[in-house]
Structure 1
């Protein structure tokens, strides 16, 4: 959507529903009780949308609504103090307090629906969610019926998406400030249709807004029409832990180019460049690491579980249950779960990663989900179509291959060296001084790079005068340091043969 989308949010929706409709263990009744006591509907009791009976506050106020009232009042006080406080430390304390109170209030609904908990009451939890669904639908109907051309507005409002406690409205205007004003007005109007303390507030607008499907969207987050607050994302792979970090990096860059820079062509060019880098193995291994928690039992073999067992057999130690296992997928024709390998082992042994896996199983679907609504499914899928050519190299044994012998290659042109020739062939020998200096420069550059990484690790450890003992496999610098060290050793070894 290339027009502002106003977001209307219910404040503390589930706790508010429980307070407004007096939902509690102590107020739950049934049809027989209502008939026996001759109670009047809506005055003495209510029937929830899913058919449960609860008495109103006229008869008895529930214990849960009283508890929730105190929690929400305390949260309001904490938020007020937070707005007035200037000291950063105290602001963090107050923010932590209001978040703790929010979680406490929401957990009151949570434990009523937990069948394995201490106080389950499905009549309460199902009534709360049923009220929530009807309120979202009522809000949608009220907004679309009021804000329309028939009532004197410039455009017909359309609710483009409704979530658990929020409704996203397209008022039709291209002016952000006007959309935010209409959102504020609509929130006040809809709030009058519900019982106290249920309250609908306008908090933010998205402009532009990319809605992929249910619970998955992204957009520029505005609370002030003069400047956007941030690039907001919900439910996308860029914020999930079961994908490699390359997915997050690419998706964030693509979203930034599409939503902030409004440069769709630039986003597509970046995706193609990334695909090219993956296929040519130019992506740092730290960006290809997948991390998953090791569980006690699995019905089917899982890559990280198989790797954990292999590491224990190979090294004598390995991840335990509850630990996160980092792995990359390496090339080969074996089953996927047998191709998971420790990133450090891959680096130290020059093992090739499976670039096809990362292209099709990690990057393809998340990127297509973002760009397909803009450029169409056909063009989006076309970016990931890569042609492969198989070259028959002949048999390794017998025939012509039996005459092939392995010979040393020239350090410069990589051509074969004749018997008795040194590190350079006869064609490159005249440039030996120039090539040797270039090799020295390559070694020096790698030494400087390794020194910078080493110093960075020392600073992280808090000591610039001791050995780096860190082996944190969750750190990108760790893998860069190992990779550069190996490249440096190989260059020095080549130089020694000069």
Structure 2
């Protein structure tokens, strides 16, 4: 009789069943769904996907013969990605029950169960054949991570190809196990989160930084986290010296604490889901910004799915402000009259260090102690001047270096240089620095005026990803600091 199949029902006559041989004509999947084999009838999905996957393999093989910096390589890379997405979406629509265009859950479940069975069979084969000298350390969806202990890169390539050849003899066509790459150094943080230096061919001399699921490739964090994490992991993989990694992280954190950074690297851009998807009082930065925009202009509310940029600074009106009260829009930040001050400690302790800890804690490193030692060094001058260390850290006062000896201090001149009798050299240094920044500021302003076609300067730039705009904002701050330093030195003289 009829039975449910996909979004409809299916009826198979007894005559058709009697003409089929259960051993040679029918394939029974691991989840109990029966299909006739290809010599009886080919399915729609196999015909379509076989052509798509074969074309993608051809494109990827061509990419290996082309310079990676060429335009043709980027074009082919985009095409193979399109083919991959078409294949993925086809499978997704097949198994989707709510938004699917051709829902057939039985086919989707069969694909998943069959792939799982293939991987489990490969794992059992590796465990029962120790002469290959390898072990499975991770498996996910359609891939296996296999470790070859005490092997060189050349030996790992040779052993991998032998293993793949043996595994492919277990499966019928068109199922095929494919060797992809070798990780010589890698970090497997958790499920779907790993990173390493990959080698795709035995002749490849330099490893490629390959990351999946960590902050270097995610869009829900800011650029400074991605840059520091990527460079730290590269140093660890290349030098295997955790001391160099620690020095690099401390140097970058010191730059943030001493206001030597590019504001463009500290911007978050989270997706806005629309007012109806949030509670009115939900502590979501994108929602807070959308509400503020709607108060002045209802049409200024971000579209659903649009990414809303913001940064985390200090709230000058509230003493014990929550994090949601410290959200600043870029328009308010880039307003020269604003008192914006970056919450450096939030970015360091809540964004940068946790991302590093998720990778480096696996080798027994406590990255949070690195910044504790750095903060003690930065605030040593404050203790000499009678400042309370904890209070100073809470307020996150901006620190700077002495313009003469480059010692960290809270004033343009440290105590030792301030006691010098002759400050004429100091005056010359301050004057030259201020003049240089004033010239840079004037040049950047001319570039902005030329871009906006307004030489009078009365315009409001709305671009949020223009490096010149952020550079002009930074140079303006440095110029004002240099002018204040020059005034401070003149008063000391």
TM-score (norm 1): 0.75
Q: Distance in 1 between matches of 2:447 and 2:50?
A: 51
Give the SS at the match of 2:209: strand
Give the SS at the match of 2:35: strand
Judging changes above 3 Å, is the alpha-carbon distance between structure 1 residues 274 and 189 closer, same or farther for their aligned structure 2 residues?
same
| 1:179 CA drift (Å) | 0.6
The aligned residue for residue 483 of structure 1 is 474
Judging changes above 3 Å, is the alpha-carbon distance between structure 1 residues 25 and 321 closer, same or farther for their aligned structure 2 residues?
closer
Q: Distance in 2 between matches of 1:279 and 1:88?
A: 40
1:188 is matched with which residue: 165, 186, 196?
165
Judging changes above 3 Å, is the alpha-carbon distance between structure 1 residues 212 and 457 closer, same or farther for their aligned structure 2 residues?
farther
Report if the CA contact (8 A) 1:327-1:341 is conserved.
yes
Judging changes above 3 Å, is the alpha-carbon distance between structure 1 residues 33 and 118 closer, same or farther for their aligned structure 2 residues?
farther
1:324 is matched with which residue: 307, 312, 315?
307
The aligned residue for residue 132 of structure 1 is 115
Pairing 1:109–2:91 present:
yes
Give the SS at the match of 2:175: coil
The aligned residue for residue 420 of structure 1 is none
Q: Distance in 2 between matches of 1:462 and 1:261?
A: 47
| 1:267 CA drift (Å) | 0.6
- The unaligned stretches of length 5 or more in structure 2 are 377-387, 393-410
2:326 is matched with which residue: 328, 335, 339?
339
| 1:233 CA drift (Å) | 0.8
Judging changes above 3 Å, is the alpha-carbon distance between structure 1 residues 188 and 301 closer, same or farther for their aligned structure 2 residues?
same
1:228 is matched with which residue: 193, 206, 214?
206
Judging changes above 3 Å, is the alpha-carbon distance between structure 1 residues 319 and 244 closer, same or farther for their aligned structure 2 residues?
farther
Q: Describe the superposition over 1:360-418 as per-residue Cα deviations: whole angstroms up to 9, x where unpaired.
A: 32122211011111234xx34433557884459xxxxxxxxxxxxxxxxxx98799xxx
Judging changes above 3 Å, is the alpha-carbon distance between structure 1 residues 443 and 137 closer, same or farther for their aligned structure 2 residues?
same
Pairing 1:382–2:359 present:
no
Judging changes above 3 Å, is the alpha-carbon distance between structure 1 residues 52 and 32 closer, same or farther for their aligned structure 2 residues?
farther
Residues 301-310 or 470-479, more deviating: 470-479
Q: Distance in 2 between matches of 1:224 and 1:81?
A: 15
| 1:315 CA drift (Å) | 8.7
TM-score (norm 2): 0.75
Judging changes above 3 Å, is the alpha-carbon distance between structure 1 residues 30 and 235 closer, same or farther for their aligned structure 2 residues?
farther
Report if the CA contact (8 A) 2:434-2:483 is conserved.
yes
Q: Distance in 2 between matches of 1:316 and 1:480?
A: 31
Give the SS at the match of 1:239: coil
| 1:301 CA drift (Å) | 3.1
Judging changes above 3 Å, is the alpha-carbon distance between structure 1 residues 306 and 79 closer, same or farther for their aligned structure 2 residues?
closer
Residues 186-195 or 434-443, more deviating: 434-443
Judging changes above 3 Å, is the alpha-carbon distance between structure 1 residues 479 and 317 closer, same or farther for their aligned structure 2 residues?
farther
| Count of matched residue pairs | 436
Judging changes above 3 Å, is the alpha-carbon distance between structure 1 residues 489 and 311 closer, same or farther for their aligned structure 2 residues?
farther
| 1:145 CA drift (Å) | 2.3
- The unaligned stretches of length 5 or more in structure 1 are 1-23, 393-410, 416-424
| 1:221 CA drift (Å) | 0.8
Report if the CA contact (8 A) 1:307-1:338 is conserved.
no
Q: Distance in 2 between matches of 1:134 and 1:30?
A: 29
The aligned residue for residue 205 of structure 1 is 182
Q: Distance in 2 between matches of 1:217 and 1:412?
A: 45
Judging changes above 3 Å, is the alpha-carbon distance between structure 1 residues 383 and 166 closer, same or farther for their aligned structure 2 residues?
same
Judging changes above 3 Å, is the alpha-carbon distance between structure 1 residues 70 and 224 closer, same or farther for their aligned structure 2 residues?
closer
